[in-house]
Amino acid sequence: MVVSIAEGRFEDVPDFDYDPQYVDVGDLRMAYVETGGDGDDGEADETFLCLHGEPTWSFLYRKMMPVLAERGRVVVPDLIGCGRSDRYEDRDEYTVEMHYDALRTFVEELDLTNITLICQDWGGLLGLSLAANQPERFARLVPMNTGLPDGTQEMTETWHAFAEMVATAEDLDIGELVENGCYHDLSEEVVDAYRAPFPDERYMAAARTFPGLVPQSPDDPGVDLFTDARDRLAEWEKPAFVLFARNDPIMADNRDPLREFIPTASEQPDVWIDEAAHFLQEDAGEEIAAHIVDFVDRT
């Protein structure tokens, strides 16, 4: 069964005064917000496509959006099952293929081009795969706290504990999960904003299933997509700027390998975001956006 989230859930979300828009991606609607550019025909000189991960939503990019909007069009979708997007109640409906197809359809329906991809966590797994398969739409890559797992990688004990807890916890507090993944303390208002899309268990299937979709063996679903993307990105010739948080216990070890296998990444400054953890957009959004604008200007 498909369920939609009531807009009233978002009335008290702070500092995020953007009207939601929707794209049909099959049986569901994918929500997004946008700012900057002309917002009408998609022909802005620069298009920043900002992709969140587990278990957040477009609100995560609110500190970055005003800075990026001074340079181009900013498009920030909610992945299926997150934010204002529709969701399946049945956990079995959530697959790597479903999430990838929904994102691909979203980008094609909006006909986004000249994209600077800004992606973190699952936004990176999906977004980097799409860029690898549709390079003509993408001008630049900015992977942040993410990777492309092929089933042979070793996941940290922290990640395994997180994945087990998310899948099995009787009462899953999304706001607490996000707060625990940040370097800086969050206000209760902000924590509640991350809880807003998940009023009860009916709405949590995506959040519950994302960790389990990470391939843990070379035979797992998703491996072909991610391996093919890795192979294609190993020959990537457009600019790439790998930008990770130093204090992310889950993903920090992915940073150097990612920077080494995308050929153009080493041409960009060797930058860490120091006072930031897994949700680096929350910890240091303005600083990161300034780095990205500088990256666009020099490339």
pLDDT digits (tens, 9 = 90+) for 218-243: 999 999 999 999 999 999 999 999 99
* 237: Cα separation from own chain's centroid: 23
Domain that holds residue 222: 2-298
Q: Which CATH number is 9's domain given?
A: 3.40.50.1820
The pTM assigned to this predicted structure is 0.96
**pLDDT band for position 39 (50/70/90)?**
very low
Overall average pLDDT of the 245-268 stretch: 95
Overall average pLDDT of the 263-290 stretch: 98
pLDDT given for residue 41 in this prediction:
46
| Number of domains present in the structure of the chain | 1
Q: Which residue has the tokens 């002309």?
A: 38
Overall average pLDDT of the 106-119 stretch: 98
**pLDDT band for position 43 (50/70/90)?**
very low
pLDDT given for residue 154 in this prediction:
85
**pLDDT band for position 44 (50/70/90)?**
low
Give the active site residues.
121, 248, 278
* 96: Cα separation from own chain's centroid: 14
